[in-house]
Amino acid sequence: MYDKKYDERSIRSENSDFVEFMLPHLGKEKRVVDLGCGTCRKVAKIAPYVDSVDALDRNERMLAQAADSLAEKKIDNVRLFLGDNFNTPFVSNTYDVCSTALSTWSPAEARRLLKTGGTFFIETLCPDDKFEIKKAFGQDDLGERGYLFGQTCEERVYYLRTALEAFFEVEEWLFTERQTELTEEGFLGLLELTPTIRGFSLEKDGDIVKRLLVDGKVRFTEKRMMIRATASRFKPS
């Protein structure tokens, strides 16, 4: 699903406040693990402010692109690993910070990797992220075709918070909103390379694409959540 084009500016806006959200809590002594690092766009921005980053992704092509980009930027304190966020190869209680941006994650695995008192940073989508696009594509046999659009914002917050609270004290929960526009090429890239619209095909959905494009651009609202949580004391049963 993700490929080299994924990182192109045409389909990826630079609209992330996640790095700024994390920065005040980083420091030169901190060891960081990033889950679902992709091409390391965000990891490259935090690496200069920390001791080291271990960055994991399950997609080899993303990791290859990450390696090129880190080398080009002369960043040498990031190690890349191929693996699954839910079952990582790392030793327990190793990291001061665990970060995960727009990926999948397990609160239990993040807690296992962190030292007690360590910080977990999450960037995740609100169900109504890109709602203008999701509304336009409507439903299929399973319901809303838009990613996460079959749940309310309140539900998503409730389930995330409840899952986190088993292992963390939630300290900060920020909602961000930005207006974004993409060219036709960028928009098609988004639809073809990301899960935004289930079962997208230009052949079937061409009319909807045309309707959304105004003066060659599609405009929509990006809605995200940023969460900061502290790893609770380990309580063996």
Ligand X SMILES: C[S@@+](CC[C@H](N)C(=O)[O-])C[C@H]1O[C@@H](n2cnc3c(N)ncnc32)[C@H](O)[C@@H]1O
Q: How many of the chain's residues bind ligand X (CB under 6 A)?
A: 18
Alpha-carbon torsion (179, 120, 104, 227), positive or negative: negative
Q: Which stretch binds ligand X (CB under 6 A): 80-88, 112-120, 176-184, 208-216?
A: 80-88
Taking CB atoms, the residue at the shortest distance from ligand X is 38
Instruction: Give the Cα separation of 97 and 119 in Å (integer).
Output: 5
CB of 6 to ligand X, least distance (A): 7
CB of 84 to ligand X, least distance (A): 4
**Of residues 10 and 232, the one with the C-beta less far from ligand X:** 10
One residue of 44, 53, 70, 85 binding ligand X per CB under 6 A? 85
Instruction: Give the Cα separation of 75 and 41 in Å (integer).
Output: 12
Q: Does 8 bind ligand X (CB under 6 A)?
A: no
Question: Which string of b and e fits 58-96 if b means at least 16 CB within 10 Å?
Answer: ebeebbebbeebbeeeebeebebbeeebeebebeeeebb
Instruction: Give the Cα separation of 236 and 210 in Å (integer).
Output: 57
**Of residues 71 and 211, the one with the C-beta less far from ligand X:** 71
| Collapsed DSSP state (helix, strand, coil) of residue 156 | helix
**Of residues 106 and 232, the one with the C-beta less far from ligand X:** 106
| Collapsed DSSP state (helix, strand, coil) of residue 51 | coil
Q: Does 84 bind ligand X (CB under 6 A)?
A: yes
CB of 36 to ligand X, least distance (A): 3
CB of 99 to ligand X, least distance (A): 8
Q: Does 58 bind ligand X (CB under 6 A)?
A: yes
Q: Does 42 bind ligand X (CB under 6 A)?
A: yes
Q: Does 104 bind ligand X (CB under 6 A)?
A: yes
CB of 214 to ligand X, least distance (A): 26
Q: Does 45 bind ligand X (CB under 6 A)?
A: no
- The residues pairing with 176 across neighbouring beta strands, listed in sequence order, are 224
Q: Does 101 bind ligand X (CB under 6 A)?
A: yes
Cβ-based neighbours of 70, under 8 Å, separated by 6 or more: 40, 43, 44, 47, 76, 78, 80
Q: Which two tokens stand for residue 217?
A: 């651009």
Which residues contact ligand X by CB under 6 A? 2, 36-38, 41-42, 56-59, 62, 84-86, 101-104
